[in-house]
C-alpha cells in the first residue's frame, strides 16, 4: 500500500534535506542553513501572493525592498510571523537584511515545528562513555526525507517538469551546496549548474531571493576568514 505524503512548506523540505537521515547532523553550518530557511519562507509567501519585491531592477537582489501584497494570514505560525515582521516594520525592509534578521532563531523554530507535526522525533544520546548528552532529532518515517530528495532527483533527471515550488527548492539546494546529498551519480558541479538553470527559468522574485541567500551565505564565509 502506498503512503500518501503531503507537500511540506519549502523550509521544512529544505531542513530535512539539510540533515543526515541517520544521525540528524546538519550537512552545512546551521547559520547558513538558517539563511536558506528564511529564503524558503519568503519564497513560499511570494508564491502564495502575500509579499512582493519592489520593481527597481537597478539594485542588487539583496538591496530590493520587501513589501506586503496582502496581510491575509497563511495559517502557518512561521510564515505569519514573517508577514508581521514585514508589515509592521517602520520602513520596508531590505531583502538581505531581512533574511539575516529573520534567520536568527529560525533553525530551532523550524525544528520545533517539525517535532510538533510528528515529522521529527527528539531523542538523547550519550557520547564519550556516557559523559556527554547529545540531543538528536531524526525523521519519524523515512518517507519525509525520501520524498523531499526524490522530487529533486526526478527534476534533475528530466522525469518531471518543474513547478514553481520545486524549481525554487532546486535553486536553494544549489546555492547552499547541498547537491551532493541528493545521492545522484552526476558530477556535482554540473548538477549544481543544472539545478540553478532550472531555478532561473521561473519567477524573477524567487530568483532574487535565492540570489540574496547566496550573497548572505557568501558574507558568512568571508567573515570567517577576516
102-140: pLDDT as tens digits: 999 999 999 999 999 999 999 887 665 556 678 899 999
pLDDT band of residue 57 (cuts 50, 70, 90) is: low
What's the rounded Cα separation, in Å, for the pair 58 and 205?
Answer: 14
Q: What SS3 class is residue 55?
A: coil
**Residue pointed to by grid coordinates 508589515:** 87
End-to-end CA distance of the chain: 55
What's the whole-number mean pLDDT along residues 31-48? 97
**Residue pointed to by grid coordinates 558568512:** 220
pLDDT at 59: 75
Ordered domains of the chain (ranges, CATH): 10-220 (1.10.3630.10)
Query: 161, exposed or middle or buried, with CB in 10 Å at 0-12, 13-18, 19+?
Result: exposed
pLDDT band of residue 5 (cuts 50, 70, 90) is: low
What's the whole-number mean pLDDT along residues 46-73? 86
pLDDT band of residue 3 (cuts 50, 70, 90) is: very low
**Residue pointed to by grid coordinates 495559517:** 75
- Most trustworthy range by pLDDT among 142-151, 158-167, 168-177: 168-177
Q: Is the pLDDT of residue 84 over 80?
A: yes
Q: Among 39-53, 70-84, 155-169, which is the least confidently predicted range?
A: 155-169
Which one, of 17, 67, 9, 68, lies nearest residue 38 by Cα?
Answer: 9
pLDDT at 168: 94
Amino acid at each position: 500500500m502506498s503512503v500518501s505524503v503531503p507537500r511540506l512548506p519549502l523550509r521544512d523540505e529544505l531542513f530535512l534535506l539539510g540533515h543526515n537521515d541517520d544521525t540528524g547532523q546538519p550537512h552545512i553550518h546551521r547559520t547558513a542553513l538558517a539563511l536558506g530557511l528564511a529564503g524558503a519562507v519568503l519564497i513560499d509567501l511570494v508564491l502564495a501572493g502575500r509579499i512582493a519585491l519592489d520593481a527597481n531592477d537597478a539594485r542588487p537582489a539583496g538591496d530590493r525592498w520587501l513589501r506586503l501584497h496582502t496581510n491575509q494570514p497563511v495559517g502557518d505560525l512561521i510564515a505569519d510571523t514573517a508577514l508581521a515582521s514585514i508589515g509592521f516594520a517602520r520602513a520596508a525592509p531590505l531583502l538581505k537584511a531581512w533574511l539575516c534578521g529573520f534567520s536568527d532563531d529560525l533553525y530551532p523554530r523550524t525544528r520545533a515545528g517539525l517535532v510538533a507535526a510528528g515529522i521529527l522525533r527528539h531523542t538523547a544520546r550519550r557520547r564519550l562513555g556516557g559523559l556527554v548528552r547529545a540531543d538528536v532529532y531524526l525523521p519519524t518515517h523515512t518517507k519525509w526525507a525520501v520524498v523531499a530528495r526524490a522530487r529533486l532527483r526526478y527534476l534533475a533527471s528530466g522525469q518531471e517538469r518543474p513547478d514553481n515550488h520545486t524549481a525554487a527548492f532546486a535553486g536553494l539546494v544549489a546555492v547552499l551546496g547541498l547537491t551532493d546529498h541528493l545521492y545522484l551519480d552526476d558530477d556535482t558541479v554540473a548538477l549544481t549548474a543544472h539545478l540553478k538553470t532550472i531555478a532561473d527559468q521561473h519567477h524573477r522574485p524567487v530568483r532574487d531571493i535565492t540570489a540574496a541567500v547566496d550573497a548572505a551565505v557568501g558574507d558568512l564565509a568571508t567573515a570567517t576568514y577576516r
